[in-house]
Structure 1
Amino acid sequence: MSTAARGGAMELDEYLPVLEKTNARFADATAEAVLEHGWQAPVPGCPGWKLNDLVWHLSEVQHFWAWVVKTRAPDPSTYLEPARHPDDELLGFLIAQNAELETVLAGADPSERVWTWAPQQDVAFVLRRQLQEATVHTADVEQVLGAVRPIPADVGLDGLDEWLEVMVPSALPDGPPAGAHPVVFHVLDADAERTLFPGSRPFPIATLTGNAGDLLLAAWRRVPIEVLTVHGDPSQAAAMIGLVSLE
């Protein structure tokens, strides 16, 4: 696999090993959550979802992207969605999808073209997106357990970069709306700063300071702004983040 830098917090050859560890962490946390709370436990970070919905979602997402990379299909029109499995089969299906996705990605060149929903149309996009998908959803299942383990600084910063570079333009293709103000993310454990809506106003409405993982989870609205140190207007900072639709 190529070791070319992405220009961000992680190198291309780091994504797959970290995805494998994150998938294992998600599966272990799921098994523990099922034992302690059952499949019907609510997921705080995904309002309206139960634990079984979360596990099925990640399984289905990984099933889809493994198919995309494996088939090199020019678009998703021929994809067949799997039938939803009963709760007692969910963990086994999840682990099977983990293995399939990891195997397919391990055998693909990151520079090879594949369909994606974003302007970047290559396997490297899938690697990064699936790592960050699994990272945020691992925090979701750990919230069911009541204890979210720290996200490594490089993974958290790369996820924040991806949110700013990919998710924000996807949600706001015409650029920042009229009422947008900059929000600065000051990343303590990576000694870095990133800005949401840079240039929309001369000065930021707030600076949010915290570790990369906490800033990432705040951007994805998994934790409240109050877990961070805020200089400026916290309610307006939350409103600016809220402009980025996660649908």
Structure 2
Amino acid sequence: MQLSEYLPALRCVDARFADAAAEAVLAHGWRARVPGCPDWTLADLVWHLAEVQHFWAWVVRTRAQDPSAYVEPERHADDELLGYVIAQSAELETALVGADPAERVWTWAPRKDVAFVLRRQLQEATVHTVDVEQVLGDVRPVPTAVALDGLDEWLEVMVPGTLPDGPPEHAHPVVLHAVDADAERTLFPGTKPFPIAALTGTAGDLLLAAWRRVPLEVLTVDGDGLQAAAMIDLVRLE
């Protein structure tokens, strides 16, 4: 994706999250469990995204170089959560509009600029929108460009972030083939001469499999599916 595409995509997914959350509350209530985050209720999920967006809006708005001055918000009552998450989405979007992507800000990753925040927050909202859609029972396809960029971010940022010393000795390559993007990526390239499996599906399904939101059964697996799942599970994400 081009930098200019991130913010419009974020606006779209923020709006979808809010709409789906409102529908899910009416259909199932705030205590509904979230399949993609089994320890969370719907209220926990909505609060989480609101809190995350509140933090990154502050980082971008203040051009923070470290997070020590950040004041965490108090958790809102359930009946205030929808309004609060909509407000935090708007604050984040406004902060990003007013910032140069090249401006330096604190992040938890080696890359420390607003462009990192743009990409990360689009992907954060995208995966959590799928979470709320799973509660609602109305999961929509992730746009191909967003999904492929998310898969790239997972490989480029999340994998080395969780495995800073590199993959373990027993790691095997896993090929990821996104049919809708006509693109191939590889998890743990170069660790062994041959991949242990190839996983084929839409970029969205590959992204959601990487984030453990859907099982590998939604993909076409050529090779050892159990070992492919074990390779993905090496990337332990909180």
Could you state the TM-score of these two structures normalised by the residue count of structure 2?
0.99
Indicate the residue corresponding to 1:5 in structure 2: none
Q: Which one of 23, 32, 45 corresponds to residue 32 of structure 1?
A: 23
Structure 1 residues 160-188: Cα deviation after superposition (integer angstroms, max 9, x where no partner): 00000000010000011111100000000
Report deviation, 1:147: 2.3
Alignment of 1:190 with 2:181, yes or no, is yes
Report deviation, 1:145: 1.2
Paired positions, count: 238
Structure 2, unmatched stretches of 5+, are none
Q: Which one of 74, 86, 90 corresponds to residue 65 of structure 2?
A: 74
**Structure 1 stretches (4+) deviating beyond 3 angstroms?**
none
Could you state the TM-score of these two structures normalised by the residue count of structure 1?
0.96
Alignment of 1:97 with 2:83, yes or no, is no
Q: Which one of 211, 217, 221 corresponds to residue 220 of structure 1?
A: 211
Return the alpha-carbon distance in structure 1 between the equivalents of residues 199 and 17 of structure 2: 28
Q: Which amino acid aligns with 1:64?
A: F
Overall identity of the aligned pairs, in %: 78
Q: Which amino acid aligns with 1:195?
A: T
Indicate the residue corresponding to 1:7 in structure 2: none
Return the alpha-carbon distance in structure 2 between the equivalents of residues 95 and 48 of structure 1: 23
Alignment of 1:120 with 2:111, yes or no, is yes
Alignment of 1:17 with 2:8, yes or no, is yes
Indicate the residue corresponding to 1:204 in structure 2: 195
Structure 1 residues 121-148: Cα deviation after superposition (integer angstroms, max 9, x where no partner): 0000000000000000000000001121
Q: Which amino acid aligns with 1:48?
A: D
Q: Which amino acid aligns with 1:104?
A: A
Q: Which amino acid aligns with 2:212?
A: R
Q: Which amino acid aligns with 2:115?
A: A
Alignment of 1:110 with 2:120, yes or no, is no
Alignment of 1:50 with 2:51, yes or no, is no
Indicate the residue corresponding to 1:163 in structure 2: 154
Structure 1, unmatched stretches of 5+, are 1-9
